Structures are given as structure tokens and as C-alpha cells.
Amino acid sequence: MKTSYVVLAIAAVGIARFVQSERQTRQRLALHAEEIHQELISDAVSNPELRVMWTAPGELPDEEYREILHCNRLISLLSVKFRAGLLDRASLRVQARWLMARQVGRTYWATLWSFREEEAVDRIDRTFNAIMADEHAAMAAVDTVAT
């Protein structure tokens, strides 16, 4: 009888290690994908031909689109840090509030939040989007009162 408990305990430890390894692998993949994404955005910021290729006709003036791309870099970084567990909800909310206090952050979110909602694949993405949307709404309310 004691042998079965030992075997069960060893199996449980093995499963726990496997689950932890899988989570770490997903985190590494997310961070690597973010590196590639940051490079692509950097290329688009520095190359006007790429910006034109990725901007819908009449969507945004070039300079405003460059600002949106810079903002996208920050939001994407915050998203991957949240996914990897490097930011908890409270620290993400602080970062979101700081970003939405700036016009470019509010412009980005007003322009692209629906796309981020469409591409959300799981609870983590939806939580991230909800926090960003909450802080955007709070700052939009401040803007409305100020005008």
C-alpha cells in the first residue's frame, strides 16, 4: 500500500514539473514573438514605404501613424509582460493609467481597441484589454469634464 503512495507522489511531481515546463516554454515563446514584433514596428517607424503599406488609405496622417506605432510598441510590451507574469493586474493598471494620461495613448486605444478585442485569444488578453479600456474610459471622462 505504501508503494502505491510513493508511485502516486512521484507521478504528481512529474506532472507538476511538466506543467511548469510548458508554462515557461509558452512564456519564452511569447517573449520571442514580442522581440520580432518590436523589430517589425521599428522597421515601420523608420521606413515610410512600410508605413504606407500598412496604413489603410485615408486612415491616419503619416506623423500620427508613426506616433500610433510607437504607442503600439509600448502596449505590446505591456501585454507580453502581463502574459509572462512580469506585471500583475495592479501594476498593469498603473502603467495603463500613465499611458492613457497621454493623448497618443488615448488616440491609439480609441482607434485600435476593437482590433485588439478581435484578436484576443484567451482570458489573459481579455483581462489586459479590460484594464486598458477601463483606464481609457477614466481618462476620456476627465477629458470630457475638462472641455
What string of pLDDT tens digits covers the 147 residues of the chain?
A: 577 877 777 777 778 787 788 877 877 877 777 787 778 878 887 888 877 777 766 677 777 888 888 899 999 999 999 998 899 999 999 999 999 999 999 999 998 899 899 999 999 999 999 999 999 999 987 765 555
The DSSP secondary structure of 63-108, one letter per residue, reads HHHHHHHHHHHHHHHHHHHHHTTSS-HHHHHHHHHHHHTSHHHHHH
- Angle, helix 103-119 to helix 123-146, in steps of 10 degrees: 150
Q: Is the pTM of this model over 0.85?
A: no
DSSP 60: S
Q: Are 107 and 99 in contact (CB under 8 A)?
A: no
